[in-house]
Chain A
């Protein structure tokens, strides 16, 4: 794929050269337009070399335009262009999201105008299933400590997890992209990312939560908070470093608000997942009922209910 990148750059340079050259030709021609004879002379004085050049260049520009034409959105080929990645590229993008660096813009360095939908889609799917499965596993661990807790597979959590993750990873980039477009309308010097690039940034930034969620199985509370904070810091840093070059042209106030809203939403997602899917374990085999009542519904039944005894 690196070879394809080089080819793409070459063509782009040629196209820019051609575009740079054509204005000169038109200006020379327009200068010579008033005396007709001169027009003919100018065309000829370029020599047959000039005429051939023109024909070749016009052919090249036509070809380039045809290559750049995207198939319509109703064709399969349109969607295939979003999955045009190799294994090594996906792994490279994941590594780039795991290790954000201050000057290192994810979109420019890793995506390079080839955003893909494979990464965001399958990272979200993996995260949703891993959340539901590890959340269920904490119930198993809780049951070993307190046998009166009734274990159940809790399949509805898969639905909740997948809805939450997919809505976050697709609706928040949509809102962000819309907001950035509006600001670009107001202040033209701002840069812009396409919608797919925003979705890519968010999708790949969620990857760091997958090992974090698995590590949240370790039933030590301060360790869980440490892992959560670390993952949130890495993920939010990746987002901020990617958005900063775009937002820096805007007023300080707007840039600050935007970045803090992005980080806040990310933190809300992390904490919401932690509280909904991972209940704190009962400390000792004599679990106190008041711990269970402070949690969201229906996973840890207090020992006094007859249902758990009957099962």
Chain B
């Protein structure tokens, strides 16, 4: 590099030289190593990450997503002031929960009277369209939560009610009677309250303070309807 510094000083002193003539003197000699890594730290880390997820085994990919879903389940069961559900939203958890709930609530009976409980499609439609309606309502009221974050929170907070459905199905294997019904009623009420508390812990902060009740009431109605469907489930 010393050559490059010196040579521009030369032109114009002794003889008139053509323009840019000195550039040919700046030669990259063989013994100066030019190759090497352009080490911009952030970029190289991202590139490492990308290539590693391409090469990892399928089990790793699936386990990573399952662990993320499981972590969010824990956040719903023990609601704390944390941003995990909001920041890293995903819709896998709500889909798993909704499908499980709809499968368990399905009529499945031989008699095809139209008087029965909800079909799979009806549960699915109620859960997803209910969640979309509540999200639209909360955004129209001026909340600053994004569409998919709100869907994620509402879907994950169905977890306590899905657990209530499992318990109800187990309890229904015993003999029917008023005790049976009281146990199911108690479990469903507890889980309904848990769902409401969990979802309000995440959603209430995104609303302006004089409209919180307006945004929370539809959530209450939504989980009430799902609890009603769980409570009135009768196996054929």
Contact = CB atoms under 8 A, between A and B. Distances in A.
**Most A CB within 10 A of own CB, among B139, B140, B218, B236:** B140
Interface in B106-151: 111, 113-118, 122, 137, 139-142
A126 B118 contact: no
Interface stretch (B12-20, B84-92, B187-195, B209-217): B209-217
Contacts of B118: 153, 155
Interface stretch (A32-40, A85-93, A285-293): A85-93
Contacts of A12: none
**Ranked 7 nearest A-B pairs via Cβ:** A153-B117, A83-B140, A152-B115, A153-B232, A86-B210, A87-B213, A155-B118
A9 B215 CA distance: 29
A155 B122 contact: yes
13 contacts: A76-B139, A80-B140, A83-B141, A90-B214, A129-B221, A152-B117, A153-B232, A154-B115, A154-B116, A155-B122, A155-B229, A307-B111, A311-B236
Interface string A129-169: 10001001000000000000001111110000000000000
Contact of B211 (A80, A87, A154): A87
B96 interface: no
B167 interface: no
A85 B214 contact: yes
B102 to A, nearest CB: 13
Contact of A156 (B114, B140, B218, B229): B114
B115 A88 contact: no
Interface of A: 1, 76, 79-80, 82-88, 90, 118, 122, 125-126, 129, 133, 136, 151-156, 298-299, 307, 311
Contacts of A125: 218, 221
A83 B114 CA distance: 37
A156 B113 CA distance: 10
Given A85-B214, A152-B234, 9 more contacts: A80-B140, A83-B141, A86-B211, A87-B210, A151-B234, A153-B115, A153-B229, A153-B234, A298-B113
Contact of B116 (A82, A87, A152): A152
B181 to A, nearest CB: 10
B217 A122 contact: yes
Contact of A298 (B115, B137, B232): B115
A264 to B, nearest CB: 31
**Most A CB within 10 A of own CB, among B113, B118, B217:** B113
Contacts of A126: 221
Contact of A152 (B113, B142, B213): B113
Contacts of A1: 210
A155 B117 contact: yes
Nearest to B232: A153
A90 B212 CA distance: 12
A76 B147 CA distance: 13
A129 B229 CA distance: 11
Nearest to B214: A87
